[in-house]
Structure 1
């Protein structure tokens, strides 16, 4: 199995705060890796560091054989990395259509791919010419994910996509990510919803205090309540 993304001894400082403390892990190509941990463990900071939003102060980040820890965020995106932040970042004053046009860096929107996206998120078709700022929270999350997948990406970094969403929308997201994976995408996802993590994840990384403290198969962690409680402080069922 080929590793698409590798972090080796990655440290991140934000101001005077030392956030990541020598993070080491690899993400296998074509697989979905879940990044779990207690609040404040460093999960979002890890995604931000990979994406270049925060600069690694030490260590190496390698994407498909290329060092990227010193690259700017736009350059990392051009290498085929899509990012869905926890904040559901969309351009509020632009329409749904305009948000997706901006995300399609390689040319005009692909109608076939749009139809595929609308199959998971029909609300985006319905509000195609509406301002993104007028959408509900769930609809903004759909748009944020659609922006990341409007073109094929080599790697998707996704931060808590199901947080605060209605169960029906969560089901649609799970189906969407499963189909993205079937199409060959590699996903690194932070998620607290156990059902989503269990359904989507192939492997799992658990963080604590800015370090990786566990790595293994998602199915093995899902079936070991004692390990869940030791690593996360409570069973994964309680994260739903």
Structure 2
């Protein structure tokens, strides 16, 4: 297995009076796509938000490239080359597709300063972005908004992408397009930590997998091994991938 770009060691997170993460241990190998699976309420989104320090760990370590991020704020973490695509997508509905992407490109002050080659690469992954370039983002379909949210995270090269349930609520045809785009992203050797409830998506994309339950990682290994073991799927997730093809 590749060296870990991101490591969580014994991470606990409290939100108010609630103890959500109970000692999370997680390794995200560099250049691979790691799936973070688990039942609703297992702590997956809290894990992503804790990594970005949107919520602060009360105990444990979050290490990026071997260095602690404990003293960093969320903007500092973004400066390290880490991008976060939340479940609610976080796009600016009143701004155009172009304006949303420009805001995410920290090194560009105008559209003319955007990396043309990278922009064309994104258009190749998500052709709808080019079609609706001057369209208000709030008027896009759910699938198009998700494509925009992911593209904002990818408008500049990132070392690590954290993506929360990108296929949620999307039509099957759009999900297939999303899988193709994320596979292309994998070929660029970008490291990805992906929370997902669609197990067909997990099987198609994952190199590694970590399964959470009750605020802990209860299983970690190769995604292919979990995909082939219906008994383990039933034990960890309460259902089998085979039933969700």
Distance 1:239 1:75 in 2: 39
Please state how far the C-alpha of 1:172 moved relative to its aligned partner. Answer: 1.5
Check conservation: 1:31, 1:181, Cα contact below 8 A. Answer: yes
Q: Could you give the per-residue CA deviations for residues 162-202 of structure 1, whole angstroms, max 9, x where no partner exists?
A: 11111221111111111111111000000111221111100
Residue matched to 1:224: 229
Residue matched to 2:167: 162
Corresponding residue SS for 2:133: coil
1:129 aligns with 2:134: yes
Corresponding residue SS for 1:11: strand
Residue matched to 1:142: 147
Corresponding residue SS for 2:169: coil
Corresponding residue SS for 2:218: strand
1:41 aligns with 2:42: yes
Corresponding residue SS for 2:25: strand
- Unpaired runs of 5+ residues, structure 1, are none
More displaced stretch, 177-186 vs 144-153? 177-186
Q: CA RMSD in A?
A: 1.1
Residue matched to 1:151: 156
- Unpaired runs of 5+ residues, structure 2, are none
Please state how far the C-alpha of 1:106 moved relative to its aligned partner. Answer: 2.2
Residue matched to 1:93: 94
1:61-140 to structure 2, matched below 5 A, reads 61-107=62-108, 108-140=113-145
TM (normalized to structure 1)? Answer: 0.97
Distance 2:170 2:138 in 1: 17
Check conservation: 1:55, 1:70, Cα contact below 8 A. Answer: no
Corresponding residue SS for 1:158: strand
Distance 1:218 1:19 in 2: 25
More displaced stretch, 167-176 vs 29-38? 167-176
Distance 1:115 1:171 in 2: 21
Distance 1:236 1:69 in 2: 37
Distance 2:242 2:58 in 1: 36
Residue matched to 1:12: 13
Distance 2:8 2:150 in 1: 24
